[in-house]
Amino acid sequence: MGHPNHLETTLGDKLPLSFQGGLALLEIRDGIKSPRVHRSPPQLWALDLILTPIPEESLPKTPLNVIDLSEESFGSIKFELLRNGLKAARRSVAKDTAIIIRLFFPAESGYVARCDFLERRFEGCEAVEVAKSFLPPLSSVLAVPQILPSMSSLKTSSVSIVSQAFGGVLLKPTTSHELGSILQELDREMENRLSFPWILQQQVKRRRVFWVQGREDFESSRRAYEAAWALGITLVVLDHPGHWLEDDRGPHAHLREAFVPTNIDIDDGFAQRIVNAVQNYPHPVDGITTISDVRLAGVAKACEILGLPTSPSAAYSIAGDKAATRNLEPKGSDDSFAVNSSADLDAVLAHRRGKLVYPLIVKPCTGWNSDCVSKVHDEASLCAAVARASARHANSPNRSTSVVVEPYIDGPEVDANFVILNGEILFFDITDDFPSTADSSSSNETENDANFMETLMVVPSGLPLNEKEMMRECLRQSILRQGFESGVFHCEARVRHSTARYAPRDDNGLLDLQVSSVTCETKNATAEPSCYLHEVNARPPGYLNTVGVLLAYGVDYYAIRLLFSLGSAGEERVRALSHPFKGDGPQYTLGVTILPARRSGVMDTEDAVEELMDRHPWLRDCIIDHKTCKKRGDVVQGPESAELWWVAYATVASRMGRKDCLEKVQFVKDHFSYKLIGE
């Protein structure tokens, strides 16, 4: 046991702190020798606070002048990271444990783009235990001089330097000999994640937005509601009576200012009902938005009537009509056709018989999620598929019997997402959409044996750079042709004559996109790669993909979509929040894995993904997002169903690259299971 007074004589510039029985020394330094102030990125600076636990046997006989963070004067949220750090120090059993807290200070004065940007941008950072912003929505900040405080300033009752921080990060416990390397890594992460203009010159004011169709549950919309709160946007939700957000005393009532029960069926009166709801609301409304495909045009029409910001309703109508979309494309419109109903097909076949090249794709002109999309190999299956597609929405409120028929393109399919402002691409990401069961189906299979439901989506794309750049520009032009100038867009397309094709990898045998010298369509081996557009969805991608982009790149499509609903009032923040991480690409390789139903019945398993992670705890480190759609008591539609449902999805992350990601995805697929009642 050391000399009882050793601690007293070596405190130096260290400050004793305590909280709930934990005792530690606080020091401001760089982890090795000299104190430092971080001055990059340019809009902020940072200080490192190092906590080292004081072992009980090292306590001096003479009482220390300890600052107790449980006192009322330290009750502010700004001391939460210090308190958590002391808790971590108390739990530590290693003698050389070091707890690092990095505090951030504004180097400029201005208005904050979104108050939780620290939490969002540090999600997934390996070294960080907790990221915490001390700012409420609609905050402004004043520049804090870049000085290194003396310990005497920390010994005041307010611990003034902590009070001036706007947020910080608490790192996972480390050891004293690793401090230098950990702090250097944190420097790199800080530069990568926070190098975007989060301080604005334009004042950020509270705005009110009507959100039409509040989504099916909180689990599949949480990020959108979090974004609205952080942006200082007050939401008013319009949806059918009985929606989960209707109850003013419900657990999620705080997510919205009000719920307006409204018939949001798509019929001739839809837009006017929105107009009436806005006009009857007792407070000013700054915008209206939705992410529901079938409601986009009607919401835009309501905005036009009310004089609120919107893209043209005519543009949304084109985007929602697959035949109109195809007719606008300079390439591909000649080898496709549309019919208003299945009765019109005979006349088309009489003209085109002998000219059609199978396989062909048949799909309703209105639809989503690859619903009722078929791949056909002969005239008989073509006629049957057109009849099914024409009947799909024949009795819906938004009645449509039109069908589009187009060639099947065997090149790799991609999902491409854009943030566009006044025709300029602010952010773009492209994802590989792995082959569906229909992609590999043969002419001998029935329509129920295969479909175009997603199986796996991998971020980032493995396409060659020149093909990604080609797709980026071609799809931008497609968006502009439809009449859009600004917005968030989710495009689905294939690369025709691509030099990449799906084949087993040499190293592990798993299917992957691989570049070869031979194009996919060997009949046109000399043709240049080109874009074949399937559809433009003038809204963010689905929830699982939107969350994946947020975690991989730091860009929140839901936040940006909300800001676009404000028109010019949101543009500065749109630009700011469209900056991805500064580094080279996403922070992970992601595999968004669809776990389909293999058999039908009533689900007996409580939560199949949670049970999978309970059986294999290491998966919790790499499954960074998931949702189980079919839980105990839910009806499970099997592969024979015309409805395209899955049991769950899991987003699998790897920092080691594509090979490792695919291997983890395969493990999830191989070990995922569920039990139906009666089994």
Three-state DSSP string of 297-363 = HHHHHHHHHHCCCCCCHHHHHHHCCHHHHHHHCCCCCCCCEEECCHHHHHHHHHHHCCCCCCCEEEE
pLDDT, tens only, 459-486 = 999 999 999 999 999 999 999 999 999 9
Of the candidates 230, 239, 282, the residue with the CA atom closest to the CA atom of residue 262: 239
Q: What is the pLDDT of residue 60?
A: 60
Distance CA 82, CA 49 (A): 9
Distance CA 655, CA 658 (A): 9
> 588-679 — its CATH code?
3.90.1170
* 415 phi/psi in degrees, rounded to 5: -105, 125
The DSSP call for residue 432 is E
Looking up tokens 């620290």, which residue turns up?
118
The DSSP call for residue 56 is G
pTM score, two decimals?
0.92
In sequence order, the 6+-apart residues with CB closer than 8 A to the CB of 183 are 30, 31, 48, 100
Do residues 81 and 74 make contact, with C-beta atoms less than 8 angstroms apart?
no
Of the candidates 440, 421, 447, the residue with the CA atom closest to the CA atom of residue 640: 447
- If DSSP codes are grouped into helix, strand and coil, which group holds residue 253? helix
In sequence order, the 6+-apart residues with CB closer than 8 A to the CB of 596 are 453, 455, 639, 646, 647
Q: What is the pLDDT of residue 32?
A: 35
Do residues 349 and 333 make contact, with C-beta atoms less than 8 angstroms apart?
no
Helix (H) or strand (E) holding 665: helix 658-671
Low-confidence residues of the chain, pLDDT below 50? 1-11, 30-36, 157-158, 444-447
Residue 403's alpha-carbon distances to 293, 322, 339, 452, 492, in angstroms, are 18, 8, 5, 17, 18
Q: What is the pLDDT of residue 151?
A: 54
Of the candidates 336, 368, 358, 359, the residue with the CA atom closest to the CA atom of residue 453: 368
What does the block give as tokens for 445?
A: 């299979």
* 59 phi/psi in degrees, rounded to 5: -65, 135
pLDDT, tens only, 644-670 = 688 999 999 999 999 999 999 999 999
Q: What is the pLDDT of residue 37?
A: 52
The DSSP call for residue 636 is E
Domain(s) of CATH 3.90.1170: residues in the chain: 588-679
Q: Would you give the end-to-end CA distance of the chain in angstroms?
A: 63
Distance CA 504, CA 434 (A): 12
Q: What is the pLDDT of residue 343?
A: 83
Instruction: Encode 470-509: b = buried (16+ Cβ within 10 Å), e = exposed.
Output: bbbebbbebbebbbbebbbbbbbbbbbbbbbbbeeeeeee
Do residues 418 and 479 make contact, with C-beta atoms less than 8 angstroms apart?
yes
Q: What is the pLDDT of residue 3?
A: 34
Residue 29's alpha-carbon distances to 149, 179, 296, 641, in angstroms, are 11, 10, 54, 63
Do residues 98 and 51 make contact, with C-beta atoms less than 8 angstroms apart?
yes
Do residues 46 and 103 make contact, with C-beta atoms less than 8 angstroms apart?
yes
